[in-house]
Structures are given as C-alpha cells and as structure tokens.
Amino acid sequence: MDQIFRLVVSCPDKVGIVSMVSNLIARHSGSIREANQHSDFADNWFFMRYEITSDTKKFDVNGFRKEFSESAQPFEMTWRLVNSAEKKKVVLMATKEAHCLADLLHRWHSEDMQFDLECVISNHKHLEDMVNWYKVPYYHVPVSAEDKQEAFDQTRKIIADHNADVIVLARYMQIIPPELCREYFGRLINIHHSFLPSFVGAKPYQQAYDRGVKLIGATCHYVTEELDAGPIIEQDVVRVTHRVRQNDMVRLGRDVEKIVLSRGLRYHLEDRVLVHGNKTVVFV
Amino acid sequence: MDQIFRLVVSCPDKVGIVSMVSNLIARHSGSIREANQHSDFADNWFFMRYEITSDTKKFDVNGFRKEFSESAQPFEMTWRLVNSAEKKKVVLMATKEAHCLADLLHRWHSEDMQFDLECVISNHKHLEDMVNWYKVPYYHVPVSAEDKQEAFDQTRKIIADHNADVIVLARYMQIIPPELCREYFGRLINIHHSFLPSFVGAKPYQQAYDRGVKLIGATCHYVTEELDAGPIIEQDVVRVTHRVRQNDMVRLGRDVEKIVLSRGLRYHLEDRVLVHGNKTVVFV
Amino acid sequence: MDQIFRLVVSCPDKVGIVSMVSNLIARHSGSIREANQHSDFADNWFFMRYEITSDTKKFDVNGFRKEFSESAQPFEMTWRLVNSAEKKKVVLMATKEAHCLADLLHRWHSEDMQFDLECVISNHKHLEDMVNWYKVPYYHVPVSAEDKQEAFDQTRKIIADHNADVIVLARYMQIIPPELCREYFGRLINIHHSFLPSFVGAKPYQQAYDRGVKLIGATCHYVTEELDAGPIIEQDVVRVTHRVRQNDMVRLGRDVEKIVLSRGLRYHLEDRVLVHGNKTVVFV
Amino acid sequence: MDQIFRLVVSCPDKVGIVSMVSNLIARHSGSIREANQHSDFADNWFFMRYEITSDTKKFDVNGFRKEFSESAQPFEMTWRLVNSAEKKKVVLMATKEAHCLADLLHRWHSEDMQFDLECVISNHKHLEDMVNWYKVPYYHVPVSAEDKQEAFDQTRKIIADHNADVIVLARYMQIIPPELCREYFGRLINIHHSFLPSFVGAKPYQQAYDRGVKLIGATCHYVTEELDAGPIIEQDVVRVTHRVRQNDMVRLGRDVEKIVLSRGLRYHLEDRVLVHGNKTVVFV
C-alpha cells in the first residue's frame, strides 16, 4: 500500500484556498484520496483535512512541504503534514479503575488502533500486573496532598523522556496542574464520566442519580486549566431507568466511557480533530 | 374487549404488600394482566402498577375499591385505581412554535394517543388556524410584563372550567407562576429543549452551540416552582457535528422535542409515571 | 444572503479532479463554502459535492457551466449544478395512513423543509380533508386489481403535468410499475417499514413480531423494479421489548418511519445523495 | 447483605397465579424485592420473575421449594428457584478473534460480571497466552473437515467435565452439531455479527457492505439447530456511512458485538431471560 499523508489546515476563510492547495498537491504528484472541508461562518474560519497519496509518480513530500510553507503564509494558515505511517507516541495515565486502560491496551495490542504505546503512569499499583503482561513500562508515581508538585514534576519528566505526542487520562482521577495543561494543550485527552456540561467535577454518577436523569453519558475532551471545560471531541449516552441503582450506573457508564474515549483518541490519532477556540471540528 | 383498571400504589416498603394486594384482587374476581413493581432500597419505598381485568366473573370494582381503601391505610399507601376507558382531559399550551402542538394534535386526531383534548391556550394567535381545523377551542390569552397576574388568573380559570386532568406546555415559553405549579403538581408537563440539567433557562441551543457539545437533547418533566428542575419523565438526544449551525440545531432539536414530549405524555396518560421526591419511577 | 450553488460530481477516480474543479470555480469568482469528497477504492470512483457562493465578485454561473461542461468530458463526469434557491417540485403519494403525509405537510408548511409541494395523489379519500386544509391539490386515483394499468397511466400523467422533480411514496402501499420506476429512477423515494434487507414485502411488523427481534426499523430508499431492493438513503431503529405487542410495534414504527423519511427526503432535496450502483453516498 | 433468591416462572395464563405465589412467599417469610410479570395475550402465556429476600424472619427456602413444587403442578408451571449467590459455571469458546473473549475475560476478572469461568475452548492457539494470564484452563481442540465428529466429542466431554451451566460462543466460527444444540438448548449463547434476520451465515459484514445499509448490528441469541435462527436475547446497531470500508465495518462491528454479547450474557446469568417458542421475554 502506498504511503498516505494527512494535510490538516485551518485559517481565516478566504477565496482561493482550495485552488491553491489542490494545485500545489497536483504539482508535486500528489493525489487527494479523501477530503473534508468546513467553513465556520460565525467565525469566518476555514478548516481542511486532506489525505494525499501518490499520483502515477511518487508524491514529492519534501518539495511540497517547502513550497506549501511559503504559500501558507499570506493565508495565515495553521497547518501540519503528517505521514500516516509514523505512529504517534502515547502515554496512558490511570489510577485504580481498569476498564479504560484495559480497553486501550487491548486495542493497541490487537492493532485495532495504531499508536506507539510508550508507557503507563499511575498513582497506584493496582494495574501494574495487567500492564506488565503487555510488556509496557509501568511507572508508579504516587500523588498525595503534600507532594503533588513533586509527583507532577516526576510525571512531566517521564512524559518528556518518552517524547510523548499524546497523553491520555484513562480515568486518572487527579487534577492536572495548569502548566502541564498549557504545555500539552491539544494533546492531553481526558474521559469525563458524564455528559458534559452536566455534572462537572467529582462523583458525576452520584449527581446523575440524585437528579434522576434518564440517560447517562461520557465526554472525551482536551484538558484545559478550567476543570472539565476543555474542547469536546466526542460524547455518547446510555439509557438508565429507575431500576438502575448507583452501582449499576457506574457499571453501565464504564461501557460508554470506554467507547467514547477510544473513539475520541482514534479521531485524534488520525488527525481528524481541529481545535478552534473552545470547540472542535471533527472530520469523520 | 374487557375493561382494564390500573392500580397504582406507592408506600413505605414492607413485607406482605404483594400478597395483600393480589389476594384482594383475586377475591373481587380481578385478574392481573400486567404487573410492575419496584423497591427503592436507598429510600425503602415501594412502587407498583397493576393492570387488572375481569376474571371469569366480572371484576367487582366498587367492592375492591371499598375494601382496598381500608387495607391500604396501615401500609400508608398513596394509591389510585383508574379505569383505562376514562380518558384524561388535557389542556395544551403553546406560544408561536408549531411543531410540538402539531404533533400532539395529530396524535390525538389519529387516535395514536388516547385523551380528551379540551382546548389550546396560547399567548399568541399564530397557531389558531391550525387548531381550528381540528375543531378544538382556542383561547388567546396574551401575556405581557405588566398584566402577567391577570393573564394567569384567566389561564387558571380556563383550565378549571375545563376540569383539566393534565396541562401540557408544548413549548409555551412563559414561566408558570408558583401557585399554579403547586396546584397542578404532577399534572403539569413541560418539554425543555435541552438535556437537563445542562442548559437550564432560555436559549439552550445557543448555550449548546457555544459549548460545542456533540449531542443535543430534550427533557420532558413535571413543572415545579424551581425553573427546569422538576422530576424528569423522559429524555433523549440526537448527534450534532461541527457542520450543524445554530439554525440546524434548532431544527434537529424540534424532532427530539416532539418525540420526547409525546413519549412522556403517553407514559403519564397511561399512569406509568410515579413521582417520588424529585425523581420518577416510569413503568414501561 | 448570497445565492448558493451546489455542484455534484461523480466520475472514475483520477489525478487532478480537485485541482481542475477548484481552479475553474476560482476563475469564475466562485468561493467554496462547504466541500465533501469521497473516493471509493473498491470501485475506483470519485464523488464530490461543493457548495459555491460568490467571491468578492459575483459567481459567473453561466460562464462556469459552459466551461465546466467541456472540462468534465475527458473525466467522464456525471454532474449537475443546482441553484439552491430553486426549490424542487415534489409529488407526495399516500394511501390511508396519515402519519408520514401529515409530517411532510407540516414540515413543508412550517418551512422546516424547502420544496414546492405540487400535489398529493392517493388511492383513497381518507386524507383529503387534511390535505385540503393545506390548500394543496389532492388527486384521488383508485387502484384496483383490474384497472391497475389505467390507474398508473393517470398517475403518470398527473406527475408529468406537475413537472415533478421528486416523487415521495409516503406509505403508498401499491407496487409501482417497472416503467415508472425506470423513468423516475433516483427521484422516486419510498419509506419501507422495516430495517431492510430484513422483512421485505408486506406486513414487516408482523414478520418482526414473529421473529422476536429486539429492535425494529425503517428504511428510506430509491425505488427500483425489484421490490424493496433499491439504493438505501437512510435507516434508523427503535428498541422494542417483549411487552410491545404488534399494535404497539406499528405505533412505535410510525415515529421511526416519519423521521427516516423526512431525513432521507431532506438529503435528496439538498443534493446530498449520490447514487452509485445499488448504493448511495450521502454527504451530511 | 441478605441472600437473594430468583423465582422464575412461566405457565399458561390463569386467574390466581400472583395470589398463590405471593401468599406462599409470605408464608415462608420471604419478601419480594423486585418483581416482573408479563402476559402474552396472543399465546395466553404467563411469565414471572421475582427476587425474594428474607422478611424479618429468614426466608425458609426448603420449605418454600417443597410446597411450591406441589402448588405449581395444577398451573402446569415451568419454574426454577435460584440462589443468586451461587455463580453459574461458564465455558467460553473462541477461534482467533480476541475482542469478545478479551472483553468477557476482563469483565469476569474485574468482577464486572458474576460467574465462574471454567475454561476456554478454542480450535486455534492464538488466544492461549491471553487466557493463561488470567489463569484459566485453555483447551485447544482443532476442528477440521474430516475430524469434526471427534472434535465435538472432545468438546462435549470438556463441557461435561466442567459441569457447565452456560456455553458462550464468543465468535467461535464453527457450526455446532445438532445434538449439542439440543442438549444445551437455552444455555448455549452465540453472538452473530449482524442485525438478524439480515445477513444470516458467513461474512455478514461483506453482505452488509454490498447491500449498502446505513446501520450495522449484532445479535446475541440462543443457538438452535437452524443456523442463526434461535431465540434472540439482545441486539444493537451502530451507524455506518459510505466512508466506512469493509475493514472499518469489521472494526466498528467488534464494539457492538462485545457490548451485545456481554449484555445478553448478563441477562442470562441473572435469570432475566425466559424462552418461549422461538422468542424471549427479557425482564430488565
């Protein structure tokens, strides 16, 4: 199979973008095999994702990249060109609950999802055995009220040492310090166990139970400094009835959390998510 | 077809309820054709809905009712026995938006739902023609900031004159005064155009759009004095993408609103909803 | 608001399509405000839908059309350029069941959907009153076993007299003759009351009930000569339990039928559906 | 927590069933904590599931069982009384595909589901390592065209040696011989990777792709001699678009298969499924 490159662009909306981009691709022997575009009229902003393969001649990536970086400037484009064959480096963080971590480990191991799993960081030892079976490094970094700064310094170092492209909070129940949120903005993904903006913060299932809602949900979002308020990537819900007690809610919720996190992460890994302000464009 | 009676009971949970009730039904020649029970352990509360028909001999309703009202006392039961053939009297209230009202009118007219449609009350004239076609009385009761009290006195009188069993706010965009909320508690049904508790109050679609959620919803609930905070009967959602502008959100939302309101009202009309505190038990 | 044109293209996949099309649009002062493309690798076929508005200068539609029709030839393109302001002429056909017809009438009347409603054709008189209220012509064309040919000749004439762009079978329970299927292929839309390919033909709810399925569905598709086998535009399902009797299935199904038909028709009216073989590409 | 017993009954519908059963329970100091009943009018058949705990005095299980078995006879009841604390013995069967097996292993291991996992039987060695980690016996029983009889004799012996209550075909891609279907009828659960009755047999995703459906599904059912035609326990679907290629369909389908199988199995393990003819009553 031929190599596929993903060109992801966002910029102020203007006449001539598509024409400029498609000409440049054609000139460097690229062929557009999948295309998504979106114009946000409220904001006058343009979003694009192209999958580019080779034409009859091989796509001249370097030539294209060089010329495109010049042509992109007058359009004030934010862009990246990604070789889909180069897997992103992922760090998973978890606490005690296994379901999201186990799901992602299995998807990685069975090649259901394509990424390099660098390591797992946890503030507990509960999941170490499971992770060991997959032969993935496991860092136990306890976090307590008094040593939080130290714990996150250590965490940050591990992430940096592994050159992580993406950090996934797979039910990691600690609040991430602001500087880490800023440093990894757009690459730090959380799964929140409620249908945001309902039930922000701790114990969302308890809150949902007390309110008597008829559906519970989960939200995959980028982490920002404001708790549970970052750009939403994906959400889904499941029906609950009066028969569903809190324990059952937690259990039913786990299945939605897994699905929503894996969908959100997949979109991110495939460069389908473009962040704009506090919202996302997701090309699926 | 034989007559069907609905026995709806809630009370503190205790040993012997089912046995007492089923014996009494059997003794008066009743036959249980559909049964739902639920015990709320957190609250130690018992809920029951039976559909009773006649045994080989005719169900002795009056005898049963008399004896049951005595037997129910030591159990501190709240209960009602409803003849399913006696349709509930419904008053619909609307403003300018037609979709929920049109949907309910059509369901009533085509006998998709069973109720007596008493009248429509609206603070505008926009929907009068449509209602006239169905030969249903239409009361135009304008509501302005200064005459709110007067308008709601008039509204209340109309509702009372029609002996309404149920009032449905089919996108009636006025806040109901507290005394009306109290008087018709458990019989005053609203459709809110968001997935509560997200986006309480006005312009929920605007709020949803601004937050960038990936699902929008609707909530059918009983009205209480606290805005959009009453017991939830039914909820549902629909998926939205970045392509969905605010107008499209409003349009997609309309379809969910209709469905959720009609489901919630149907459950109520069939005596399937039991209110307990700020939550509902819905036997479907 | 500026005029919007929809350019819909399908052709064998080839290098240079996007570049050719976008250049031509730019050269005639067009601006692409929404773009969808898809490449079917199995078939090596290319699909595209652009929404084009005016650039700073007005989009030169005629000039574009002229030049494009030439440029399209070497690519063997099937294409159309549609002015979104020109509403499609729709003929609705129904029998006795009101729900789909009532839903579409209401959507048309409330401008929830944009089309010119030419007339309603029915083989019964049941729905005439309702249609009259909307001031839409109603043709009663009875169909009986012996006069089928004559009835469809008359039907065909009415459709032709109204210059129908689209014919919608809103639960029209007669089999359409092959020549009409062929003549209006890709413009003749049916709603089938099952999740096709399950339960082809008559009485799908009976079939679903007998099989004991846990979900029932509806399918909106283009009509072809082979019964219920044409290209599928849209499908959806609703959950049923053992409590749901056949009558209730029919009732629950009605709500799915309405939603699925209105979605499918909307996609068609907005030129979002591209037929390819027996399948559809739906750009939403 | 007090012990919970599940009383599951089905019989011809008759007056006095509830009264007889509830009296007997009360007389033996039982308390009904959750009750479900259903009457199938088409068939005149009665279904019931009670969860019974102790009253202020301990529920006299043996006394109840003895007396009930006599009282049940004139009603021609099929019934069982199950101690919920006694876990069912489960044998899992798989081939090469890991997703359903991995999901059930994780649910068992994390006590998300309550059962005794006896062993895994597979006609391949691919999943042995994974199963070993969970310290669960793994039997490799190859099946080839010529030795089918022998392979299934061996399989049968393993199942019998383990006293299996339930056999789960977690994507076990072999056709089960008729005598095994008969012997374990109502205890042999399969997950079929389509929304039955669509796409019976092999390669359902290929069939779905070729037909161009807009939703794909999965079906959990009891196995009978007729392929993919047994009583359905649970079904669900997921949306697909024209962008979804066959590989993606398989991948999307895996998530539905896992969810549907785990739901169906849970219902079975909790004695919520009553088979009647070729249909099921599922009390959830």
CATH number of the domain encompassing residue C233: 3.40.50.170
Mean pLDDT of chain D: 95
Rounded Cα gap, residues A269 and A275, in angstroms: 14
Does the beta-carbon distance from D110 to A133 stay under 8 Å? no
Interface with A, mutate which of C11, C22, C55 (most A CBs under 10 A):
C22
The verdict on C112 touching B (C-beta cutoff 8 Å) is yes
**Domain co-membership, C161 together with C259:** yes
Rounded Cα gap, residues A33 and A84, in angstroms: 13
- C-beta of residue A281 within 8 angstroms of C-beta of residue A16: no
Interface with D, mutate which of B13, B15, B48, B59 (most D CBs under 10 A):
B15
Across A57-181, the runs of DSSP E, i.e. the strands, are 78-83, 89-94, 116-122, 138-140, 166-169
Residue-range definition of the domain harbouring residue A257: 89-282
**Domain co-membership, A66 together with A99:** no
The verdict on A236 touching D (C-beta cutoff 8 Å) is no
Q: Which of D228, D236, D255, D271 is catalytic?
A: D228
Q: In chain C, what percentage of residues exceed pLDDT 70?
A: 100
Name the CA radius of gyration of chain B, rounded. 21
Closest CA to D188 of D163, D167, D219: D167
- C-beta of residue B83 within 8 angstroms of C-beta of residue B165: no
The verdict on D196 touching C (C-beta cutoff 8 Å) is yes
Model ipTM value: 0.94
Rounded Cα gap, residues D8 and D39, in angstroms: 14
The total number of structural domains that make up chain B = 2
Neighboring chain B residues of D55 at a CB cutoff of 8 Å: 15
Q: What is the CATH number for A11?
A: 3.30.70.260
Q: Which of residues 50-69 of C touch A (CB under 8 A)?
A: 55-56
* CB-based contacts of D80-85 (< 8 A; 24+ apart in sequence): D80/D6, D80/D7, D80/D8, D80/D271, D81/D5, D81/D6, D81/D7, D81/D8, D82/D5, D82/D6, D82/D7, D82/D8, D82/D271, D83/D3, D83/D4, D83/D5, D84/D3, D84/D4, D84/D5, D84/D6, D84/D51, D84/D270, D85/D3, D85/D4
Give C165 to chain A, closest Cα distance, Å. 29
Which residues of chain B fall below pLDDT 70? 1
Is C228 assigned a catalytic role?
A: yes
Neighboring chain C residues of A56 at a CB cutoff of 8 Å: 15
> How many Cβ atoms from other residues are within 10 Å of residue A23's Cβ?
19
Neighboring chain D residues of C217 at a CB cutoff of 8 Å: 215
Strand ordering across the sheet containing D138-140: D138-140, D116-122, D89-94, D166-169, D188-192, D215-222, D232-239
Rounded Cα gap, residues B219 and D30, in angstroms: 39
Model pLDDT, residue B15: 85
Closest residue in B to D16 (Cα) is B26
Task: Give tens-digit pLDDT for B231-269.
Answer: 999 999 999 999 999 999 999 999 999 999 999 999 999
**Domain co-membership, C149 together with C55:** no
Q: What is the pTM (predicted TM-score) of this model?
A: 0.96
**Domain co-membership, B64 together with B123:** no
Domain boundary (D83, D105, D138) is at D83
C46 membership: H or E segment, kind and range: strand C45-54
Chains in contact with A, where contact means 3 or more Cβ–Cβ distances below 8 Å, are B, C, D
Rounded to the nearest angstrom, the gap between the alpha carbon of residue A192 and the centroid of all alpha carbons in its chain is 13
Give A63 to chain C, closest Cα distance, Å. 18
Q: Give residue for tokens 């976090």.
A: A143
Does the beta-carbon distance from B18 to D16 stay under 8 Å? no
Neighboring chain C residues of B112 at a CB cutoff of 8 Å: 99, 251, 254
Which of D98, D251, D259 has the CB atom closest to A255's CB atom?
Answer: D259
Residue type, B110: S
D204 phi, psi to nearest 5 deg: -65, -30
> How many Cβ atoms from other residues are within 10 Å of residue D278's Cβ?
16
Tokens of C212: 């004991």
Closest CA to A99 of A259, A258, A264: A258
Task: Give tens-digit pLDDT for C22-61.
Answer: 999 999 999 998 899 999 988 899 999 999 998 888 999 9
Give A38 to chain C, closest Cα distance, Å. 6
Closest residue in B to D52 (Cα) is B15
pLDDT band at residue A196 under the 50/70/90 scheme:
very high
The verdict on C243 touching B (C-beta cutoff 8 Å) is yes
Interface with B, mutate which of D1, D11, D18 (most B CBs under 10 A):
D18
Q: Which of C228, C248, C255, C271 is catalytic?
A: C228
Neighboring chain C residues of A37 at a CB cutoff of 8 Å: 32, 34-36
CA dihedral sign, ordered C238, C242, C244, C247: positive
Does the beta-carbon distance from B26 to D36 stay under 8 Å? no
- C-beta of residue B258 within 8 angstroms of C-beta of residue B211: no
Rounded Cα gap, residues B22 and D32, in angstroms: 13
Mean pLDDT of chain B: 95
Give A29 to chain C, closest Cα distance, Å. 9
D130 phi, psi to nearest 5 deg: -60, -45
**Domain co-membership, A65 together with A96:** no
Domain boundary (B83, B108, B131) is at B83
Closest residue in B to D48 (Cα) is B35
Q: Which residues pair with C35 in a beta bridge?
A: A37, C50
- C-beta of residue D262 within 8 angstroms of C-beta of residue D107: yes
B207 membership: H or E segment, kind and range: helix B204-211
- C-beta of residue D159 within 8 angstroms of C-beta of residue D152: no
The verdict on C279 touching D (C-beta cutoff 8 Å) is yes
Helix axes A246-269, D246-269, angle to 10 degrees: 170
**Domain co-membership, C210 together with C251:** yes
Q: Where are the alpha helices (DSSP H) in D167-245?
A: 178-183, 204-211
Give D183 to chain B, closest Cα distance, Å. 33
Closest CA to A254 of D236, D103, B237: D103
Chains in contact with D, where contact means 3 or more Cβ–Cβ distances below 8 Å, are A, B, C
Rounded Cα gap, residues C10 and C24, in angstroms: 17
Model pLDDT, residue A1: 52
Interface with B, mutate which of C49, C104, C106 (most B CBs under 10 A):
C106
Per-residue pLDDT of chain D (284 residues; tens, 9 = 90+): 579 999 999 999 988 899 999 999 999 999 998 899 999 988 899 999 999 998 788 999 999 999 999 999 999 999 999 999 999 999 999 999 999 999 999 999 999 999 999 999 999 999 999 999 999 999 999 999 888 999 999 999 999 999 999 999 999 989 999 999 999 999 999 999 999 999 998 899 999 999 999 999 999 999 999 999 999 999 999 999 999 999 999 999 999 999 999 999 999 999 999 999 999 999 99
Rounded Cα gap, residues C103 and C263, in angstroms: 12
The verdict on A216 touching B (C-beta cutoff 8 Å) is no
**Domain co-membership, A180 together with A277:** yes
How many residues would you count in chain B? Answer: 284
Per the omega criterion (within 30 degrees of 0), is the bond before D204 cis?
no
Does the beta-carbon distance from C19 to A25 stay under 8 Å? yes
Query: Between the CA atoms of B245, B250, B251 and B256, what dihedral angle is there, to the nearest 10 degrees?
Result: 120
Neighboring chain B residues of D32 at a CB cutoff of 8 Å: 17-18, 37
Domain boundary (B62, B83, B104) is at B83
**Domain co-membership, B117 together with B153:** yes
DSSP state of A223: -
**Domain co-membership, D184 together with D146:** yes
**Domain co-membership, A278 together with A163:** yes
3-state helix, strand, coil in chain C (%, to 5): 35, 30, 35
Model pLDDT, residue C55: 80
Rounded to the nearest angstrom, the gap between the alpha carbon of residue C61 and the centroid of all alpha carbons in its chain is 26
Report, as residue numbers or ranges, the catalytic residues of B: 228
Residue type, B255: D
The verdict on B33 touching D (C-beta cutoff 8 Å) is yes
Rounded to the nearest angstrom, the gap between the alpha carbon of residue D171 and the centroid of all alpha carbons in its chain is 14
Which of D16, D34, D41 has the CB atom closest to B39's CB atom?
Answer: D34
Helix axes B99-109, B246-269, angle to 10 degrees: 40
**Domain co-membership, C166 together with C252:** yes
Q: Which residues pair with C46 in a beta bridge?
A: C11, C39
Q: Which of A13, A228, A248, A271 is catalytic?
A: A228
Task: Give tens-digit pLDDT for A197-252.
Answer: 999 988 999 999 999 999 999 999 999 999 999 999 999 999 999 999 999 999 99
Model pLDDT, residue D94: 98
**Domain co-membership, D67 together with D168:** no
B209 phi, psi to nearest 5 deg: -60, -45
- C-beta of residue A178 within 8 angstroms of C-beta of residue A87: no
The verdict on B49 touching C (C-beta cutoff 8 Å) is no
The verdict on D248 touching C (C-beta cutoff 8 Å) is no
Does the beta-carbon distance from A215 to B199 stay under 8 Å? no
